């Protein structure tokens, strides 16, 4: 039986960072993962460039059944702390969108940095390791694994959520939590594309079309890119809205968010009377989308001139182009979701240290907890911050 001060299960974003921080505090650390390599999700994140944090971290960008839980950790280790670490390692990065920071080169820069930090403090990393059983013992915890038996004073669960099973995601962390009496709240895929029902699926002509749109769901609105896929709708505005979606809930899309369409049509009716409505709309929105939306309106609007529009026509056009309502049949699920909402109930975990309130020296960090960030680097910041908070207590 090999003994460690700290064993961390899950060598993803949170586990790797926690290992380095605990090592810096003089702890003898073992980091275990069942996958063939560490940080797989980091490698595939941000389109291969890893959106590792956001300049504008706010509490409004996080969701949890306890909306105060994440505040302490996020303030103990901020985006500025992680940016400094990235800079200290000479990793070049750039800002995209609204404060989203990406590597200039590759996401592997971040994984290499995290591994180097673990090696610097002589932390041990073992991959291909199946954890078969965990037991609480007098001195802490003992683990039976495919690589032998280990014991530790403190055990950290950093096995993430259910998203992308092909990348090694499992419900292992939830099972450990339940084993030790913790409540696991229902989970659902988030930051995930929506899929059409069968009727709309046939509209293959729109696949690949993108535009700027305002997508609203359950009183939350996002104005960003929207993309038609061969299965449904994706793009940042949709992914963000998906975090607020549940079965049966409608999604409303404004395809012309920068226009007051009613006013603009009334003005154009006077100023451009001979122009066809379709042409006018196509100067504001991509052609295929105009055709598709017009086809959902009465036939005469497909060929009408601006001068012939009556107020009822204008209202109907506004309803279809700016208040297009749709109840998605489903999401693409954990197969493509960036994150898992729900998870280990945070009311049984210390918000300052991530330690279990039920058992001493048992910690949960990262996505396994019921804390979910919005798209834009917020989820990695939660991984870094929660890992740091736990490491300070180890
Ligand atoms: C395609 C994609 C792109 C993303 N892009 C971004 C982005 O750009 N910015 C951002 O902020 N967030 C992004 N995310 C979300 C982000 O990757 C996660 O929120 C973050 O990785 C969570 O960190 P974690 O350490 O809690 O879990 P993970 O990083 O998922 O790590 C969990 C680790 O536990 C291991 N594990 C699981 N089960 C077991 C087991 N039974 N035994 C041993 N080990 C186990 C896994 O192999 C894995 O290494 C993206 C996610 C995806 C899927």
Mean pLDDT by 10 residues, the chain (394 residues): 96 98 98 97 96 97 97 98 98 96 98 98 98 95 98 98 90 97 97 84 80 97 95 96 96 97 97 97 96 95 96 98 95 96 98 98 98 98 98 97
Bridge-based pairing state of the strands 2-9 and 29-32? parallel
Asked if residues 230 and 193 have their Cβ atoms less than 8 Å apart, the reply is: no
Q: What is the pLDDT of residue 166?
A: 87
User: Is-contact 351 376, C-beta < 8 A?
Assistant: no
User: How far, in Å, CA of 31 to CA of 15, rounded?
Assistant: 7
The two tokens of residue 37 are 């390599």
Report which protein residue has its CA nearest ligand 1's atom 27: 160
Regarding the beta carbon of 239 and ligand 1, being less than 6 Å apart is answered no
Distance 37 CA to ligand 1 centre (A): 12
Q: How far is the CA of 13 from the centre of ligand 1 (A)?
A: 6
Q: What angle do CA 137, 140, 142 make, to 5 degrees?
A: 60
Q: Which residue in 189, 207, 192 sits closest to 240, CA to CA?
A: 192
**What is the helix (H) or strand (E) element at residue 240, kind and residue range?**
helix 236-242
> Residue 46: CB within 6 Å of ligand 1?
yes
Q: Do residues 332 and 193 touch, judged by C-beta distance below 8 A?
A: yes
Cβ atoms 232, 193 nearer than 8 A: yes
Q: Pick the atom of ligand 1 nearest to 379's CA.
A: 11
Q: How far is the CA of 180 from the centre of ligand 1 (A)?
A: 23
What's the pLDDT score for residue 269? 96
How remote is the CA of residue 311 from the centroid of ligand 1, in Å? 52
The response to whether residue 41 sits with its C-beta less than 6 Å from ligand 1 reads yes
**pLDDT at residue 97, rounded to an integer:** 87
Ligand 1 contact, 53 CB (< 6 A): no
CA 79 / ligand 1 centre spacing (Å): 18
Nearest to 8 by CA among 182, 179, 143: 143
Residue 54 Cβ contacting ligand 1 at under 6 Å: no
CB 241 within 8 A of CB 320: no
What's the confidence (pLDDT) of residue 200? 61
For residues 146 and 199, what is the distance between their CA atoms, to the nearest angstrom? 49
Ligand 1 in reach of 211 Cβ (< 6 A): no
Q: Answer yes or no: is the C-beta of 164 below 6 A from any ligand 1 atom.
A: yes
Ligand 1 center to residue 352 CA distance, Å?
22
Ligand 1 pocket, 367 CB below 6 A? yes
Q: Which residues pair with 63 in a beta bridge?
A: 372
Q: What is the pLDDT of residue 296?
A: 94
pLDDT at 202: 57
Q: How far apart are CA 176 and CA 219, in angstroms?
A: 35
């Amino acid at each position: 039986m090999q003994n460690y001060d700290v064993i961390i299960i899950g060598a993803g974003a949170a586990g790797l960072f926690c290992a380095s921080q605990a090592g810096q505090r003089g702890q003898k650390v073992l980091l275990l993962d069942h996958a063939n390599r560490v940080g797989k999700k980091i490698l595939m994140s941000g389109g291969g460039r890893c959106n590792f944090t956001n300049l504008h971290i706010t509490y409004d960008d996080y969701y949890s059944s306890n909306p105060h839980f994440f505040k302490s950790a996020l303030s103990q280790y901020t985006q500025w702390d992680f940016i400094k670490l990235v800079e200290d390692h000479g990793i070049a990065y750039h800002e995209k969108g609204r404060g989203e920071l990406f590597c200039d080169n590759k996401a592997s820069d971040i994984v290499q940095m995290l591994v180097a930090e673990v090696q610097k403090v002589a932390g041990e990393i073992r991959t291909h390791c199946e954890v078969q059983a965990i037991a609480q013992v007098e001195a802490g915890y003992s683990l039976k694994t495919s690589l032998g038996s280990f014991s530790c004073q403190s055990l950290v669960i950093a096995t993430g959520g259910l998203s992308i099973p092909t990348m090694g995601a499992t419900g292992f962390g939830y099972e450990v939590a339940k084993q030790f009496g913790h409540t696991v709240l229902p989970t659902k895929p988030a930051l995930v594309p929506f899929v059409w029902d069968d009727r709309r699926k046939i509209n293959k002509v729109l696949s690949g079309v993108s535009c700027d749109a305002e997508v609203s769901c359950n009183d939350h609105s996002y104005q960003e890119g929207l993309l038609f896929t061969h299965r449904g709708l994706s793009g940042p505005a949709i992914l963000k809205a998906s975090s607020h979606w549940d079965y049966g809930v409608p999604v409303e899309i404004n395809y012309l968010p920068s226009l007051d369409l009613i006013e603009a049509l009334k003005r154009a009716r006077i100023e451009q009377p001979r122009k066809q409505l379709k042409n006018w709309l196509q100067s504001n929105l991509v052609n295929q989308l105009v055709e598709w939306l017009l086809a959902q309106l009465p036939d005469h609007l497909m060929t009408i001139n601006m001068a012939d529009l009556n107020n009822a026509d204008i209202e109907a056009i506004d309803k279809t182009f700016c208040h297009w309502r749709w109840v998605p049949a489903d999401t693409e699920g954990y197969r493509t979701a960036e994150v898992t909402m729900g998870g280990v109930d945070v009311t049984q975990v210390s918000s300052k240290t991530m330690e279990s309130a039920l058992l001493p020296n048992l910690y949960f960090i990262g996505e396994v907890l019921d804390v979910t960030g919005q798209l834009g680097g917020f989820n990695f910041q939660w991984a870094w911050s929660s890992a740091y908070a736990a490491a300070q207590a180890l």
